[in-house]
Amino acid sequence: MNVIVRTWAAAFTAGGQSQHTMKSMKNTLQQFKTRAATAASITTFLALGLSSGLAAEDVWTGLGQDAYWTTPANWRGSLTPSPGDSLVFTNVIGLLNTNNFTAATAFGNLTFATPSGAFALSGNSITLNGNLTDINR
């Protein structure tokens, strides 16, 4: 902004160069607008990319006072899963559990990992955006 103001002031003190200086000011302003728009686009792109990269892997512990998926104590770290996260069911605690998230909530992968009992998942439907896997860990 200081450069533009100094250039504008110089236009009126230099006499016959005001038209040339005004053109330079317009070019400088256009460059500024272009760079600002580019920076805004990059910031938006990075924000969207990072938000989609924040999906976590949530591991069922079944240690809560009930068997609901939205109970924080049922998940490692006492953190309720967020939509988009991958869910891992392992161990033999809380084998009968209930998805009480809103129907069709989207999750990433759904994994059953050993040691694993015979889990019975009930409740609302999910939208699975990843793989359904039964693995040995």
Lowest-pLDDT range of 2-16, 27-41, 122-136: 2-16
Which tops the pLDDT comparison, 67 or 49?
67
The rounded distance, in Å, linking the Cα atoms of 102 and 124 is 7
> pLDDT class for 120, splitting at 50, 70, 90?
very high
pTM: 0.61
In this structure, how many other beta carbons lie within 10 angstroms of the beta carbon of residue 116?
19
Give how many domains the chain has, as a whole number: 2
**pLDDT tops 90 at residue 16:** no
Looking at the structure, do residues 71 and 48 belong to the same domain, yes or no? no
Kindly report, residue by residue over 84-109, the tens digit of the pLDDT. Answer: 999 999 999 999 999 999 999 999 99
Distance of CA 121 to the CA centre of its chain: 27
Give yes or no: residues 85 and 117 share one domain. Answer: yes
Rounded distance between C-alpha atoms, residue 58 and residue 92, angstroms:
16
68 and 126 belong to one structural domain: yes
* Domain match, 41 and 72 both: no
| Structural domain boundaries enclosing 114 | 57-135
- Dihedral-angle region of residue 84 (phi above 0 means left; psi in -120 to 50 means alpha; beta otherwise): left
Q: Return the structure tokens found at 64.
A: 């809560």
* Confidence band of 41 (pLDDT split at 50, 70, 90): low
Residue 130 pLDDT > 90, yes or no?
yes
Same domain membership, residue 95 and residue 45: no
pLDDT exceeding 90 applies to what percent of the chain? 55
